[in-house]
Homo-oligomer: A and B are copies of this chain.
């Protein structure tokens, strides 16, 4: 097959409008372009579709046969165009998102009803994972990952970057009075999130740079919710993103301590990774906005 499918609507227009000039007007293109396209189609098919001179034209019987086929082709093309226009206008279709467990359990899952209400045509596939995600290999549209993300073809940006706070249960504190120096704090840390379990965790003590060793003799878990559950059960003091402690703090289930020892906001960063901003589908945009909202929610 050697004919140009894009010449089909040109041919249809010439027949429908009964002339090259009228077809050109309808199509919004020069008549020399129409003449050329029609001639090219006839040459490629090896058949005259339209007999014509400078004043008259008539469709040949071959032209009639092709006309019937051409109408069906363009109907199909319009259907495809409408379907894609629909996808481009309203968020719809399946979206696969890989999320860390904590983010999913604490912030995303509790708000899914709201997302569904707002975007009834988006079908979410959530993958809770704590290891890295390859969008291509794992067939994922969006991924939220713990920590900053290296530059790549994929877009990544900070979804969350907020305060880390030291917390303990009131019961633990009543039974284990806390002194004021860093060593005393360190003595009470039994468990922490894996990403803070460093031999030299950079901190600020009263604004001064310092390091804390959370590597040895401390349980490390790559799930802040598990860390929180342990501390709620009296397992010492720990460092947690304020993001995951709001409710417990409000209800008095956890208490902030050692507020003079702080960490950089970037230490708690969650990154969201997705394909380039260009050609972003509406559903992807919608889910990104949704993530921004649930993270910002107080």
A binding-site residues for B, Cβ under 8 Å: 1, 3-6, 8, 42-43, 45-48, 51-53, 56-58, 60-62, 65-66, 69-70, 72-73, 76-81, 83-84, 87-88, 93-95, 135-137, 139, 141, 153, 275, 279-281
Contacts and interface: CB of A to CB of B under 8 A. Distances in A.
B6 A62 contact: no
A23 B275 CA distance: 23
B53 A136 contact: yes
A74 B153 CA distance: 33
Contact of A52 (B52, B94, B136): B136
A46 B93 contact: no
Count chain B CB atoms within 10 A of each CB in A43, A52, A73, A83 and give the residue with the most.
A73
A45 B77 contact: no
Nearest to A3: B81
A43 B84 contact: no
A202 B264 CA distance: 115
A136 B57 contact: yes
Given A5-B6, A279-B48, A281-B47, A62 B80 contact: no
Nearest to A67: B80
Given A42-B279, A281-B47, A87 B65 contact: yes
A47 B87 CA distance: 9
20 contacts: A1-B81, A5-B77, A42-B279, A46-B279, A47-B84, A47-B87, A47-B88, A48-B275, A51-B135, A52-B136, A56-B137, A58-B136, A60-B141, A61-B93, A62-B87, A62-B281, A65-B83, A69-B83, A72-B79, A73-B76
Contacts of A141: 60
Contacts of A60: 141, 281
Nearest to A55: B136
A1 B47 contact: no
Count chain B CB atoms within 10 A of each CB in A46, A80, A93 and give the residue with the most.
A80
Contact of A69 (B3, B72, B76, B94): B76
Contacts of A78: 1
Given A47-B279, A281-B48, A4 B1 contact: no
Contacts of A62: 84, 87, 93, 281
A73 B80 contact: yes
A14 to B, nearest CB: 14
Count chain B CB atoms within 10 A of each CB in A46, A136, A275 and give the residue with the most.
A46
A279 to B, nearest CB: 4
B56 A136 contact: yes
Given A65-B87, A80-B73, A83-B65, A139 B58 contact: yes
A87 to B, nearest CB: 5
Nearest to A95: B61
A5 B3 contact: no
A54 to B, nearest CB: 9
